[in-house]
Amino acid sequence: MKAILENKIREALAGLQGAGTLPAFDMPDIRVERPKDEQFGEYTASIALAIAKQAQKSPMEVAELLKEKLASLDFEKVEVVQPGHINFYLPSGYFQKVLASVLQEKYPAFPVSLKNEKVMVEYSQPNTHKEFHIGHLRNVFIGSTLVNVLRKTGDVVIAANYIGDTGTHIAKCLWGLVTFHSGENLEVISDKAEFLGKVYSEATQKIEENPEYEEAFKALQQKFEAGDPELAMLWEKTKGWSMDEFQKIYTELGVSFDEYFFESIEEEAGKKLLPELLEKGVVEKSDGAIIANLEKYDLGVLVLVRQDGSALYGLKDIPLAKKKFEQFGIDRSIYVVDIRQNLYLKQLFKILELYGFHEKMIHCGYEFVALKGGESMSSRKGNVIPARVLIDETITKVTSQFPESPDPEKIALGAIRFAMLKHGAGSRIEFDIEESVRLDGATGPYVQYAYARIASILAKAAEKNISFSGQPVQDRVLEEKEKDLIREIAKFSELLLEIRETYEVHKLAHYALRLADRFHSFYNECKVVDEENREVSGERLKLVFAAQKVLGEALGLMGIAAPEKM
């Protein structure tokens, strides 16, 4: 309806110009929004305010002219309010049509973009030889939700993961293993990924505390980068430990990837591309290093190769960016990476542009995560909170709070996902386990409970043989709470199309909360299972069923389970 209304306004303006009622001017961007207060209708438009000067009339005059053109459409009422807004009220029949489309299973598949594209979403990107921590979880939740929404709106999406399997941190971990753990039987260690993370932190701290270790570490790093066979074998083995742990976590979170990229492979491609970058003047030599001087673009200087010959991130990311478009034929490349990499990604995109690569690349950034009252995490400091620890502690909390739950793990994972997804990407999160599992707040369990409550209502209706098959009665007079619930259901498809363009996945969590609120408000005021009034009961059960379908769809897109019982 939003897109239809925007087209109708565009046509009305063109008609007024064609008739000479309004002077000719370039057609502006026309946007129809949901009013903040629903007493002002289902939709509102402020186009009259935007074009009044060009139209050589007051905003109210322009709004009245548009109202006359649009009043003949299928609206219950079109009104103009100061200082020139146009509000649109839809008739009861519209609400019943929305309900009918959900019951016919057309609605969940309805929000398909007309600009279908092939998109690659790169997310997660953990480093091997480091622990998978709670910050990684936020990345996974944003990335996987974005993948789901883009697929739902008709895009072909490739979910990609770029693994950091080379670099200084790897060499430090290997040095720590060789120097401090060479005599140990590493095969008997139960949690090998956790062990590697601790070895990396130990090695970093040892080098910082004793500068004499720096020389020994550098010597090992050079041997490793030169392809020393023993170090290569140790690297392959320990890398496998990390990858196994990553896969366990992805499986538990219900996440999968279509493509994996590895820094160690992209580094070789970067070295092959380097002569061409130098020849084109995109990068230059400076004191033995190779840099991209981007100061005239206010982007500083990016070092691609250090003086000692070691490659940095940029040299690896440049060929990978090209590979994504050339090998996979994508239209958009989205990087889900934390905001600390904002400048770096701007530098990367600028280098590619100077190279002559003009493709659509987007950085979808997000802020840090810490436990409530905790300090910022750092693998170097060794104070990261492993994802496994957070998940296990939340499961324990859910088990005690919902003792009759058949699957506390699903509720716990839903609580964690929702608690991280409900925050805008620019908001820093202090994760509070106690808060995340509450049943009476802006939480995953609160939304899941709404779904489970509906399942209970439908089961009760079945026990009493109250049927709700068939399409809704079109001329039935709806209670205001029924309209409110359908009105919220109707916003779902527009929201998904909006997220497709803005990547603001937190709005999906906010929507699920509002839909749950509307359902509870409706159910508290409108009797649903009523054996003495089976006809009305049947009609309301259709609405309840539709709400459950859309709520389940919203939860599913966020990767959150929709339980039949809490």
Instruction: Render 167-222 in DSSP notation, one character per residue.
Output: SHHHHHHHHHHHHHSTTS-GGG-S-HHHHHHHHHHHHHHHHHH-THHHHHHHHHHH
pLDDT at 366 over 60: yes
Average pLDDT over residues 365-393: 74
What's the confidence (pLDDT) of residue 470?
Answer: 83
- If residue 429 lies in a helix (H) or strand (E), which one and from where to where? strand 429-431
Distance between CA atoms of residues 450 and 512, nearest Å: 10
What's the confidence (pLDDT) of residue 522?
Answer: 97
Question: End-to-end alpha-carbon separation of the chain, Å?
Answer: 36
Average pLDDT over residues 131-142: 94
Identify the CATH class of 123-264+316-369. Answer: alpha beta
pLDDT at 529 over 50: yes
What's the confidence (pLDDT) of residue 112?
Answer: 57
pLDDT tens readout for residues 14-30 = 999 999 999 999 888 99
At residue 176 the predicted structure's pLDDT band, cuts being 50, 70 and 90, is very high
Distance between CA atoms of residues 55 and 232, nearest Å: 72
Residues of the chain with CATH 1.10.730.10: 400-557
What's the confidence (pLDDT) of residue 109?
Answer: 44
Identify the CATH class of 400-557. Answer: mainly alpha
Place domain 2-90 in its CATH homologous superfamily. Arginyl tRNA synthetase N-terminal domain (3.30.1360.70)
Closest CA to 528 of 435, 460, 470, 434: 460
Average pLDDT over residues 53-77: 89
Q: How many Cβ atoms from other residues are within 10 Å of residue 499's Cβ?
A: 23
58 versus 373: which is more confidently predicted? 58
What's the confidence (pLDDT) of residue 383?
Answer: 53
pLDDT tens readout for residues 456-509 = 999 999 999 998 888 888 878 889 999 999 999 989 988 999 999 999 999 999
- If residue 78 lies in a helix (H) or strand (E), which one and from where to where? strand 77-81
What's the confidence (pLDDT) of residue 378?
Answer: 47
At residue 92 the predicted structure's pLDDT band, cuts being 50, 70 and 90, is confident
- 357, burial (CB in 10 Å: exposed 0-12, middle 13-18, buried 19+): middle
- Whether the bond into 83 is cis, omega within 30 of 0: yes
Q: What is the pTM of this model?
A: 0.90
What's the confidence (pLDDT) of residue 139?
Answer: 97
Average pLDDT over residues 345-365: 97
pLDDT at 376 over 90: no
Closest CA to 131 of 3, 249, 300: 249
Residues of the chain with CATH 3.30.1360.70: 2-90
Average pLDDT over residues 194-198: 93
